[in-house]
Amino acid sequence: MKTVITYGTFDLFHTGHLNLLKRAKALGDRLIVGVTSDAYDLSRGKLNVLQSCAERIENVRLSGLADLILVEEAEGQKIQDIQKYNADIFAIGSDWIGKFDYLSNLCNVVYLERTKGVSSSNIRNEKFRIIRMGVIGHGRIVPRFLRESKYVSGIEITSVYGRSKTRAEAFAKQHEIAESYDSLDAFLNSVDAVYIAVPHHVHVEYARKALQKGKHVLCEKPMALTEAEVLELQLLARENACIIMEAVKTAYAPAFSQLIHIAKSGAIGTIIAVDASFTKLVTNSRLREYDPKQAGGALTELASYPFLVIAKLLGTNPSRVSFIASMDKHTGVDTFTRAQFIYRNATATATVAIGAKREGDLCISGTKGHIYVPAPWWKTESFEICLENPALNKKHFTRFADDGLRYELAVLVNLIQRGEYTCNYLTNQESAFMARLIEQFRNHLNVDLLSD
């Protein structure tokens, strides 16, 4: 007897799940199905699971395809189960190709073709229908977004749009996306929501068209290059009963929310200074980051992160903001910029660079102590409350899963499912504030340049 074993969350059981189990069953005589426990899903960063473990087990049982159902409790259990049940074949969806090759010394590993473009009509419970999401663009960040989307229930990436039909088709085929389009109207008609991942200068154009079509929008940062454009998009979203969210992943991360809460709770007294840095070396001057026509430069590329934490802790109405910058002599974009903020009772600095390096940390200074967040602070995972008496110091740790893009996507899904249009993770006022700072810098207001 040939035994096949497979695993999954099986949340909101749909045709894709059913087809996968049928394909796995056809490989042998006996099918064992592992269903992830609630605790294991949480530990591995699987977000937004809408049904309990018991409900998901019942989903699998009702399929009539499983000869035995297990609960997967922890990392490493697959090896134990394969050995315990003498499994001949480990089967899993093709979107995990390569991930489980390490099991090939125990049994035959088979990656099964997944069902592309699962529609809402396939969902057993219409209350929690699958949200069809399309991706606008196919640049460097999109493959990471696709990987992260696997960890969020209730959403399916069903299509990709690109101005080049050939490139869009190739990308869709490579990443097993059901549909590709070079017609924006046809693309928008096929989805419920879009993720915009194109160069900064065309964010507004695509976001505006999506909102006018009644589609929810998750837009890469910066959402826009002027405050007026951000306000326009926010108004358009309200008028069309849509969500527009700016994809600054840090804002939606669990540890960052905890950090902001603790800092504002008085744990270090009154906050008097915030100093945040984000730098990376971009050595290829042909990339988008160095193209002024695509709004390149360190500030537009990276400053959304330190601007976010400054807004969260000190507010969106500083009395003065000034900049010191170093410009690339060939392209004219900024390679190093430090923004300096003055508030009524506090100060802040935001340092960003694509042509220089410094420690990417965050320090929040208060009248009773400080909070230190080590690099990379924008992937907030750990931080320490440091007081005058070191014996009273306290460290906090909350896992930041992989790239963290799943956090913003999970918030979007939750908002859509609940019929809500704004959230506190990143408010409309904070998005407008960040755009206002970018606009000020690009208009050369209160900007001093470092000499060559």
CA–CA distance, 326 with 328 (Å, rounded to integer): 7
Rounded to two decimals, what is the model's pTM?
A: 0.80
Residues 88 and 135 in one domain: no
Q: pLDDT band at 449, cuts 50/70/90?
A: very high
pLDDT of residue 444: 96
Same domain, 353 and 366: yes
Instruction: Examine the domain organization and report whether 255 and 240 are in the same domain.
Output: no
Residue 117 has pLDDT above 70, yes or no: no
Q: CB-side exposure of 226: number of CA atoms within 13 Å?
A: 7
Burial class, 273, CB count within 10 angstroms (exposed 0-12 / middle 13-18 / buried 19+): middle
Decide if pLDDT at 358 tops 50. yes
142 and 198 together in one domain? yes
CB atoms within 10 A of CB 451: 4
Computed over every residue of the chain, the mean pLDDT equals: 92
Percent of the chain whose predicted confidence (pLDDT) is above 90:
80
pLDDT, tens digit (0-9, with 9 covering 90-100), for 162-212: 999 999 999 999 998 999 999 999 999 999 999 999 999 999 999 999 999
Residues 384 and 404 in one domain: yes
Omega before 376 within 30 of 0, i.e. cis: yes
Question: Is 60 exceeded by the pLDDT of residue 24?
Answer: yes
- Residue pLDDT, tens place only, 316-337: 999 999 999 999 999 999 999 9
258 and 221: one domain? no
On whether both 127 and 239 belong to a single domain, the answer is: yes
- 238: domain range? 120-247
Q: What residues form DSSP beta bridges with 83?
A: none
Euclidean distance between CA atoms 413 and 153, whole angstroms: 8
Specify the CATH number for the domain of residue 417: 3.30.360.10
pLDDT band at 125 (very low <50, low <70, confident <90, very high): very low
C-alpha span between 257 and 400 (Å, rounded): 12
**Per-residue pLDDT averaged across 285-291, rounded?**
93
Q: Are 200 and 166 in the same domain?
A: yes
Under a CB-based contact definition with an 8 Å cutoff, are residues 395 and 267 in contact?
A: no
Last residue of a domain, one of 112, 142, 160: 112
Q: Give pLDDT, residue 119.
A: 40
Burial label, 171 (beta-carbon count in 10 A; 0-12, 13-18, 19+): buried
**Domain stop point among 209, 231, 247:** 247
Residue 289 CB contacts under 8 Å (≥ 6 apart), including other chains: 282, 296, 297, 298, 301, 333, 354
pLDDT surpasses 70 at 57: yes
The residues, any chain, with a CB within 8 Å of residue 280's CB and separated by 6 or more, are: 302, 353, 354, 357
**pLDDT above 60: residue 124:** no
| 153, 11 contact by CB (below 8 A) | yes
Of 41-45, 214-218, 357-361, the poorest mean pLDDT is in 41-45
What is the CATH classification number for the domain harbouring 73? 3.40.50.620
- Residue 310: CB partners within 8 Å, gap ≥ 6? 274, 276, 341, 348, 350
Same domain, 263 and 394: yes
| Average of per-residue pLDDT across 347-359 | 97
Query: Domain boundary at 64, 84, 112, which?
Result: 112
Instruction: Give a three-class secondary structure readout of 176-217.
Output: CCCEEECCHHHHHHCCCEEEECCCHHHHHHHHHHHHHCCCEE
Q: What CATH number is attached to the domain comprising 142?
A: 3.40.50.720
Q: What is the pLDDT of residue 123?
A: 43
Total domains present in the chain = 3
Q: Are residues 377 and 284 in the same domain?
A: yes
